[in-house]
Chains A and B, each alone.
Chain A
């Protein structure tokens, strides 16, 4: 009797914590969605620079990609939040700094994925498009990118999942994301095991849904 009541009480603490965790999830998703879109745009631009017939642009793009790939995410985050802010030229709040870091980080990886995707498309496709009279930009837009995107989708999904998980590191600069709310709840309730289990399950569900979405898009494309 006593132990059941005790168990009920423990479940209650999770149920009581849940709305707060979901608030954290909202912040996580908000940051993720904005950052991933920005990151994709950055990736697209950097991939173009990487493939442009101008050496200096290739070089700049490669420097950026190498710098991101060669440093830990958390160092990038500290550099942007503490480092840039310490110059007193701009003042970034933690959410903005978090979004920028995730976007710039994902952008570098996306750039490599997109570059490889573009290069995997047969040269004959470009030649056919150019022979019709398309400009280089039109050829990219109508012929190369749509095909490259299909091939890239699984890797893009993978990188998006990694970026979503990276957002949990933003809690160290005080962003009230899912992980941060988990920390607060865990110490407030003394139920670390259950709170962190719940947080893990929430991340898992979101990533699972993301995977389902990607599979759905992939299937739709394959039908063609």
Chain B
């Protein structure tokens, strides 16, 4: 059974239909990369998966929870779905450690010492143990994003969503963040990654989805999609970015 199942997903902002009939299945431990031109609805698609955007139509089932059911407790489902944003969105009034422990302490009500222990382990994993007591304002972009990943992981999610996690970074910072994501993929995390990093998609992605004009235009394993695109629009897009 798929861990993410999207059927006939539609999303409109006012009169503008941004997603027009999206169907997608993601299996456990799969890494799906979503590519496509600016404004094609990649972020919107991702944000529908944890209902940061209200869904206009269709059905989205996440780890067995139908999140299009209005009666579902979406907060509970979101605990199982981590999200990493282009702009990091760390809490500037909290230290790195507090950023990571806030969710576990307040939502799972585990005690502080235990939460901090887990947080420190996560910081070791993202290579930022020595920054535990810094404030986000004291970190570089790449460091911020790695903290944001650790913060999401602290909730022990089943799925991680990434929305262009490296697009706001200076080029020399990109590698560190991608490295952490690769590691995560290797450990078997289910990931949906909106990205412009075609190298990453090729290397880490199990499947690549090309989104354009609100539709999934083409979907294939990376070697096929990049090496032998079938659709004219895919070809046109790849010729611009590769």
Residues of A within 8 A of B (CB): 122, 124-125, 127-135, 138, 142-143, 146-147, 150, 224
Contacts and interface: CB of A to CB of B under 8 A. Distances in A.
A127 B52 contact: yes
A146 to B, nearest CB: 5
A150 B52 CA distance: 27
Given A132-B151, A133-B75, A146 B106 contact: no
Contacts of B152: 131-132
B166 interface: no
Given A130-B78, A132-B155, A142 B106 contact: yes
A224 B93 CA distance: 7
B91 A128 contact: yes
Interface string B74-104: 0110110111010101111100000000110
Contacts of A128: 83, 85, 89-91, 148
Nearest to B99: A128
B103 A133 contact: yes
Contacts of B82: 131-132
A132 B77 CA distance: 10
B230 to A, nearest CB: 34
Contacts of A130: 52, 75, 78
Contacts of A143: 91
A91 to B, nearest CB: 45
B190 interface: no
Given A138-B106, A142-B102, A142-B106, A133 B89 contact: no
Counting chain B residues whose Cβ lies within 8 A of the other chain, the interface size class is 20 to 34
Interface of B: 50, 52, 75-76, 78-79, 81-83, 85, 87, 89-93, 102-103, 106-107, 135, 148, 151-152, 155
A101 B170 CA distance: 55
Contacts of A133: 75-76, 78-79, 103, 107, 155
Contacts of B76: 133
A146 B102 CA distance: 14
A134 B107 CA distance: 7
A205 B87 CA distance: 46
* A-B pairs with lowest CB-CB distance, top 5: A128-B89, A133-B79, A131-B83, A124-B89, A132-B103
Contacts of B83: 128, 131
B89 A125 contact: yes
A147 B93 contact: yes
Contacts of A147: 91-93
Contacts of B106: 134, 138, 142
A125 B90 CA distance: 7
B78 A131 contact: yes
A135 B155 CA distance: 15
Nearest to B51: A130
Nearest to A131: B83
A6 B76 CA distance: 80
Given A131-B83, A133-B79, 16 more contacts: A122-B89, A124-B89, A125-B91, A127-B89, A128-B85, A129-B91, A131-B82, A132-B82, A132-B102, A132-B107, A132-B151, A132-B155, A133-B76, A133-B103, A142-B102, A224-B135
Contacts of B103: 132-134
B91 A131 contact: no
A155 to B, nearest CB: 18
A146 B107 contact: no
